[in-house]
């Protein structure tokens, strides 16, 4: 790893760390990576005979020969004719080039073999300086050893996605091997979903392993939180916030930086610096075998969780309360940061917001920087009046088409009203192509009338009719919004009833997962209670398999709630069409 600021920890904490490890939950015995296994690899890679594994040296060639044998023994397959993928590192000092070689193997996926998770670790170090060998046991024989152990287990039990295992050369020279790989990958770059990188995972006196990258791709954090809860060490999130001190941001500090530069999501597992970092004393004897194995097992567990949940869809619907309301103690200026934090924390792939005014949306855009907002003001079809806007994560979705229609007898007429409602009502829609699943989906966000029951019932009929008419064959459906109608209201029931004319009947993932839940109110009136009806909902069409669903009732430290409605959220995945 290139030099980064040290954050030394007292060795006296080692006893506490080992106690933590001894009481932690382990992986099943048949899948557990042992201290002996990772230490065996590390002792070989960090031996004096490897001469510090500097790129384009005999020591590097010895390390590479070991990796080639281990890749083959693990059951990986070559990608191309050879295990080794050569590249040239440009030396900026004199414009010369140094040859390097990445080692690449693959395990084909069971379900989505055409999509790849790339698991990486660099095997090079800094070589010999002034007659002293820098063995780089933690940096990064440890990450390479963990990669070998994980690869063996994935080869024995393939995941849903294909997994590329890559041992990079030339990391210490400016991420040269990773940059060469990303610039000319051996598989289509668009097929690479995620990079999981390991660099320095062999020791921590505090028993702490960091995972960086979820700041940039928040939807990955919910997949890792259960891993952190059961990990046999302290798995911490951080060192990836570009708004904090620059010296504390590891986003570009190892090979994952090349993936990030190319717009590919990454997760980096590593420890904070220790006194032997980039010193000749970074020897295998300084590694902590129990922690080392725990780190490898944690990354293996995370890989499984990511593989299972990477294509899960996170949906959020949130009535944010219009920003000019004179709610004493709950003005928009008092709540804005809470609404922004709610959206960041729930990490949606798709979010629908209701009651939003143009100036509020401009302020919310910064909370979802990877999302594109679509929708128009209901009063003029541009920016006047409330929006029922959609936020779409463009790192996941390609927006094929989008629009807004009015809930009236003349849906294409701006600001039209027909059914006894005094307030103009709209639905915003988008047709999307999912980069992960290759599915197409059509998502709608709406806000029904709060007074007129006929308007609500006609709105339900119009939405069903539009979904049936506009959805292309194979499009998966999502409808979210503030319906101003409880679960027993005929208008809401019409969305779920197969007998209703129009498009396919929808389902309520919350009720699929929580059929007996009674405390479900989503309008809280800034009181925080849930005694009313569930008038905010996310509904899905055929072919979705619900994973989790909930109502976000968080109260912030200043005693306020983000809005007079609770946000509702759903995690679902594409199953087989019904």
Burial class (CB in 10 A: 0-12, 13-18, 19+), 144: buried
Cα-Cα-Cα-Cα dihedral sign, residues 202, 205, 208, 210: negative
Backbone CA torsion sign across 382, 383, 385, 389: positive
Report angle CA 347, 349, 354 to the nearest 5 degrees: 85
Q: Mind listing the pLDDT tens digit for each residue in 18-64?
A: 333 333 333 443 479 999 999 999 999 999 999 999 999 999 999 99
pTM, rounded to two decimals? 0.78
CA 132 vs CA 139, 146, 279: distances in Å: 16, 26, 9
pLDDT digits (tens, 9 = 90+) for 255-294: 999 999 998 999 999 999 999 999 999 999 999 999 999 9
DSSP characters over 561-572: BSSSB-EEEEEE
Question: What's the pLDDT tens digit per position in 421-451?
Answer: 999 999 999 999 998 888 999 999 999 999 9
- Flag the least confident range among 12-16, 33-37, 178-182, 466-470: 12-16
SS (H, E, C) 221-268: HHHHHHHHHHCCCEEEECCCCCCCCHHHCCCCCCCHHHHHHCCCCEEE
User: What crossing angle do the helices spanning 221-230 and 289-309 adopt, rounded to 10°?
Assistant: 140
What domains are there in the chain, each with its CATH number?
Answer: 11-238+258-309 (3.40.630.10), 313-574 (3.60.10.10)
- Treating both helix axes as pointing N-terminal to C-terminal, what angle do 58-74 and 35-45 enclose, rounded to 10 degrees? 150
CB atoms within 10 A of CB 102: 26
φ, ψ at 397 (rounded to 5°)? -115, 145
Higher pLDDT, 331 or 3: 331
SS3 181: helix
CB under 8 Å to 320, separation ≥6 — which residues?
339, 353, 354, 355, 356, 360, 364, 562, 563, 565
């Amino acid at each position: 790893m290139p030099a980064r600021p040290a954050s030394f920890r007292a060795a006296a904490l080692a006893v506490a760390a080992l106690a933590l490890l001894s009481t932690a939950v382990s992986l099943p015995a048949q899948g557990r990576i042992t201290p002996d296994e990772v230490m065996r690899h590390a002792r070989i890679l960090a031996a004096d005979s490897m001469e510090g594994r500097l790129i384009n040296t005999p020591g590097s060639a010895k390390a590479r020969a070991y990796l080639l044998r281990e890749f083959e023994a693990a059951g990986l397959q070559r990608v191309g004719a050879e295990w080794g993928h050569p590249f040239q590192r440009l030396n900026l000092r004199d414009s010369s080039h140094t040859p390097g070689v990445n080692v690449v193997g693959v395990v084909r996926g069971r379900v989505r073999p055409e999509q790849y998770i790339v698991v990486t670790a660099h095997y090079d170090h800094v070589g010999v300086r002034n007659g002293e060998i820098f063995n780089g046991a933690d940096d990064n024989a440890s990450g390479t050893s963990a990669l070998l152990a994980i690869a063996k287990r994935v080869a024995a039990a393939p995941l849903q996605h294909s997994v590329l295992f890559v041992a990079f050369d030339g990391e210490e020279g400016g991420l040269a091997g990773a940059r060469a790989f990303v610039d000319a990958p051996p598989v289509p770059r668009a097929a690479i979903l995620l990079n999981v990188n390991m660099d320095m995972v062999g020791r921590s006196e505090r028993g702490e392993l960091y995972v960086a990258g979820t700041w940039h791709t928040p939807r990955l954090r919910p997949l890792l939180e259960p891993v952190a809860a059961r990990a046999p060490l302290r798995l911490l999130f951080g060192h990836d916030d570009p708004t904090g001190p620059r010296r504390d941001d590891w986003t570009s500090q190892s090979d994952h930086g090349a993936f990030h530069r190319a717009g590919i999501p990454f997760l980096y597992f590593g420890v904070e610096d220790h006194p032997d970092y980039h010193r000749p004393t970074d020897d295998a004897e300084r590694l902590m075998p129990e922690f080392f194995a725990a780190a490898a097992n944690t990354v293996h567990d995370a890989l499984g969780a990511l593989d299972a949940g990477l294509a899960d869809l996170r949906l959020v619907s949130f009535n944010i309360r219009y920003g000019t309301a004179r709610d004493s103690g709950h003005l928009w200026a008092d709540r804005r940061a809470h609404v922004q934090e709610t959206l960041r924390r729930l990490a949606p792939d798709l979010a629908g917001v209701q009651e939003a005014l143009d100036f509020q949306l401009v302020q919310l855009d910064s909370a979802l920087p990877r999302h594109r907002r679509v929708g128009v003001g209901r009063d003029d079809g541009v920016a006047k009046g409330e929006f029922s806007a959609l936020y779409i994560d463009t790192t996941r979705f390609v927006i094929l088409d989008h629009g807004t229609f009015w809930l009236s007898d003349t849906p294409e007429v701006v600001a039209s009203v027909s059914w006894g409602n005094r307030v103009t009502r709209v639905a915003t829609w988008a047709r999307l192509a999912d980069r992960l699943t290759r599915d197409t989906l059509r998502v709608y966000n709406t806000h029904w009338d709060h007074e007129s029951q006929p308007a609500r019932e006609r709105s339900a009929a119009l939405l069903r009719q539009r979904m049936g008419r506009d959805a292309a064959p194979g499009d998966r459906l999502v409808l979210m919004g503030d319906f101003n109608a409880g679960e027993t209201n005929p208008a809401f029931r019409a969305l779920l009833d197969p007998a209703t004319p129009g498009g396919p009947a929808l389902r309520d993932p919350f009720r699929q997962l929580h059929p007996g839940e009674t405390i479900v109110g989503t309008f809280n009136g800034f009181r925080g209670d849930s005694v009313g009806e569930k008038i905010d909902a996310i509904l899905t069409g055929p072919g979705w398999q619900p994973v989790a669903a909930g109502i976000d009732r968080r109260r912030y430290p200043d005693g306020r709630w983000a809005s007079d409605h609770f946000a509702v959220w759903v995690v679902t995945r594409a199953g087989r069409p019904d």
